[in-house]
Chain A
Amino acid sequence: MRWPGGIAAGLVLALTLGTLGAVAWRAGFALRLGPADWAAIRFTIWQAALSALVSVVLAIPVARALARQRFPGRAALVTLLGAPFILPVIVAVIGLIGVFGRGGILNDALGLAGLGPVSVYGWHGVVLAHVFFNLPLAVRLILQGWLSIPAERFRLAASLGAPVGRLLEGPMLRAVAPGAFAVIFLICLTSFAVALTLGGGPRATTVELAIYQAVRFDFDLGRAAMLAVVQFALCAAAALGLRAAGAPEALGAGLDRVVEHHAPGGRMLDALSVTLAALFLMAPLAMILARGLPGLADLPGGLWPAAARSVAVALGATALTLAMALALALRGGALARLSMLLPLAASGLVMGTGLFVLLHPLVSPREVALLVTMLVNAVMALPFAARVIAPAVAQAEAGHGRLADSLGLHGLARLRWLILPRIRRPLGFAAGLTAALSMGDLGVIALFAGDGQATLPLLMVRLMSAYRMEQAAGVALVLLAISLALFWIFDRGGRVDAAA
């Protein structure tokens, strides 16, 4: 079936390039880059490359440890390690400052050891935060690579006494790591919210931050459109460059289920890797909990309606994203690949503003505020969902496609009997990712929301602008809990009867 993929691609193109076109058409377009813009472009590329490199390098030992060791609580740990990636940025910053800030536990510990305080603010703060957000993604992507090595190959290698690392793991990493680097590099290219508070000053200005300034403050739409084009160009160049360097490929087919694959060596090293990663990723979560608990006693009115709105938007976005990702994966081809990548290069703010420009003559933006938020969230989450789903679909097709052909399985029947049963785990993971990412999104709703339409992140911002920092921290904790719960439910649902 190719037509659903065509529709999905059309939707993605309309929401990314179409909305950009609408903004450019409204404002006029000219490519004028000042010295400050060039500085922003340089910083953007540099910090993204560094963040991606550090994330992937750190992820390899953690993923290997998780792949080859079995220990109690491993499944829970895998889920929890995924938490930072889906953490709303405004919530995460509370946690990061709680750990790495001046009054954070790291500096307390350094102080006890007689060492001077370290500052988290500056370019290193941006990289630290990006690694915090993206290390879990890198671990998951690489872990999936490990788990995709069929168990019988490990058995075969073991029976031949062949070196597992050189024969199986090396090629797998060479196939998977560039893809993980590419995805994280692209995410960090367009991320800006992190740089906002931890960046320390104008030196840490990214292109997306400049877009934010142009849209939200100067309201210079021509400039916003120009910067969005620059961002697309940057991402396109990055994507092409990384494609040339070798795109990840599907590995040979085997049994779907993961079994104990090989002699678990290096227990000490593995334990150390997992412990350090868990500390790095969990400590900020613990700080969010600690800061948020006092606020729970005094939660604001309007919290639960806002939470219900956020959950509804998240679930709607999830359904749409999964449908699009699946349709694109089944369609395949260049158009599908482009659609899976394009939203990474898009600016949510430009998308929101473009939709505003397009919809305003037809309908009051307020009436469709939550619908628009859902649409934008769905498209923005698509690259992540598709990156998880597409390889699984390809693998199912590669492994069992010919068998299905010989049985005459086509269309929905093929989906039902061939694809879906084999992609349950990635599908659940993708759904969890999308739901959680959508829960925490603030950008778009702030442009549109009317009276009584606040989502949880917007509620947090409102509390903070009214000096109510403690209540805001309480709402942050609720937001964190719901995001994690949504992720856990979907991910769990996907992993039922898969060996976790």
Chain B
Amino acid sequence: MTYRLHAGLALALLATPAIAQDKTLTIYAPDYFASEWGPGPAIREAFEAQCDCSIDYQTGDLLPRLKLEGARAQADVAIGFDSTEMKQARETGLFAPHGVDTAALTLPIDWQDEVFLPFDWSYLAFVYDNEALEEVPSSFEALVEAPDDLRIAIQDPRSSVSGLSLALWADEVFGEEAEEKWAALAPKITTVTPGWSESYGLFTEGEVDMVLSYTTSPAYHAIAEEDDTVSAAIFDEGHYMTIELAAQLKGAEEPELAAQFMQFVVSPEFQSLIPTSNWSYPSALPKAEWPEGFQSIALPKNAIWLAEDEADARREDAVEAWRQGLSR
């Protein structure tokens, strides 16, 4: 691999350690995935130990970037799609079948997609401090009817996939009444943030009682901080599932390495890295093998899953109901 050096400022700033291996697997990934605190570095180390290659993560907004670059995309693999946006990802037409046997998957739903391969998943949930909140809603309906002094932070469905998933969740649970329910929730919604992390920051600061997050969030606090005071409220109506996906690109420069990586995604080695680095459930690991902090957290009884066409078709109405309900 050669490094062409550019003059000027870029030179000093872009210095990257030279890597000796001759083959490079280029992976497009969201920023959080490849960062020092995400699963990326450990996954790179594990894969490089077996592939005689090096992994190069290119981070940024995954889907926008692929749409912009189109066939010129340099990636061999793209990882980190959210299932709610699967249709938009598929419509780019950039991906090849992954060729992995999906029988190994341990998702609560049956998964047979030939292109998108789940690598982790979680349930959307409202998370709270179990020492501070006394009346915990046991259903979405109960949340809507909770006293107005309950303070909730959620994410904007127009700028974050968790917010969009929430809008679809409400749409699934309340149907035609979704806008009414949003209007009833409005006094309790302290604020709407663009992404998950701003909301979650408000929760850890004590600004809100509940925050839209995931059923797996308590595991972070239990394992990384030895703090058992964070819980996820389990709703009777069921919880919206978020599945994160990887796909191999048609135009991959290293198709064999890409295929090898896709196999690696469902391997126990990759899967066992997921829970405590991405704070979500592994997609191909039996529950008995999950870390203890994950086994003990409450699981919803019902999974709500929208197939990609349905999620896409209902998106606009679900977001509009959210906007109208909260704008009254």
Contacts and interface: CB of A to CB of B under 8 A. Distances in A.
Interface of A: 36, 39, 93-94, 97, 101-103, 119, 121, 196-203, 209-210, 212-213, 215-219, 221, 300-302, 309, 312-313, 316, 353, 356-357, 360-361, 364, 366-371, 374, 446-454, 458, 461-469, 472
Contacts of B68: 219, 221, 353, 356-357, 360
25 contacts: A93-B198, A102-B190, A200-B191, A200-B192, A201-B192, A202-B156, A203-B327, A216-B61, A217-B159, A300-B36, A302-B36, A309-B13, A357-B68, A360-B72, A367-B6, A367-B14, A368-B6, A370-B9, A370-B10, A446-B60, A451-B58, A452-B16, A453-B13, A465-B195, A466-B32
Interface stretch (B116-124, B199-207, B263-271, B284-292): B199-207
B23 interface: no
Given A216-B61, A216-B64, A313-B13, 16 more contacts: A103-B205, A197-B191, A197-B193, A199-B192, A201-B189, A202-B327, A210-B158, A312-B12, A450-B57, A453-B14, A462-B36, A464-B197, A466-B38, A467-B221, A469-B204, A472-B201
Contacts of B186: 201
Contact of A469 (B16, B191, B200): B200
Nearest to A26: B68
Nearest to A102: B207
A302 B34 CA distance: 14
A364 B160 CA distance: 27
Nearest to B61: A216
B63 interface: yes
B202 A97 contact: yes
B64 A467 contact: no
Contacts of B198: 93, 196-197, 464
B21 to A, nearest CB: 16
Contacts of A97: 202, 205, 207
Contacts of B72: 360-361
Given A196-B198, A199-B192, A451-B59, A217 B13 contact: no
Contacts of A36: 323
A-B CB proximity, top 4 nearest: A466-B37, A464-B197, A465-B32, A462-B35
Nearest to B221: A467
B53 to A, nearest CB: 15
B9 to A, nearest CB: 5
Contacts of B10: 367-368, 370-371
B64 A215 contact: yes
B35 A201 contact: no
Nearest to A291: B205
Nearest to B70: A360
A198 B9 CA distance: 37
A493 B237 CA distance: 64
A374 B36 CA distance: 24
A453 B67 CA distance: 23
Interface string B35-76: 111100000000000000000111111011001110010100
B196 interface: yes
Contacts of A356: 68
A221 B206 CA distance: 37
B9 A371 contact: yes
A267 to B, nearest CB: 40
A121 B187 CA distance: 11
Contact of B59 (A202, A203, A450, A468): A450
Contact of A450 (B6, B58, B61): B58
B200 A467 contact: yes
Given A102-B151, A196-B193, A464-B197, A458 B58 contact: no
A457 to B, nearest CB: 12
B279 A203 contact: no
Contact of B9 (A300, A302, A312, A360): A312
Nearest to B40: A451
A446 B64 contact: no
B191 A461 contact: no
B194 A212 contact: yes
A119 B153 CA distance: 13
A357 B65 CA distance: 10
A447 B61 contact: yes
A441 B204 CA distance: 25
Nearest to B217: A467
Given A102-B207, A469-B204, A219 B35 contact: no
Given A102-B206, A201-B327, A450-B58, A371 B190 contact: no
A462 B37 contact: yes
Contacts of B64: 215-216, 219, 447
B224 interface: yes
A467 B224 contact: yes
Nearest to B201: A469
A36 B323 CA distance: 9
Contact of A121 (B190, B201, B224, B322): B190
B220 interface: yes
A366 B37 contact: no
B31 interface: yes
Nearest to B32: A465
Contacts of B36: 300-302, 462
Contacts of A302: 36
A461 B193 contact: no
B57 A451 contact: yes
A290 to B, nearest CB: 12
B14 A370 contact: yes
A208 B34 CA distance: 28
A202 B322 contact: yes
A122 B208 CA distance: 15
Given A200-B192, A216-B64, A466-B37, A101 B205 contact: yes
Nearest to B194: A196
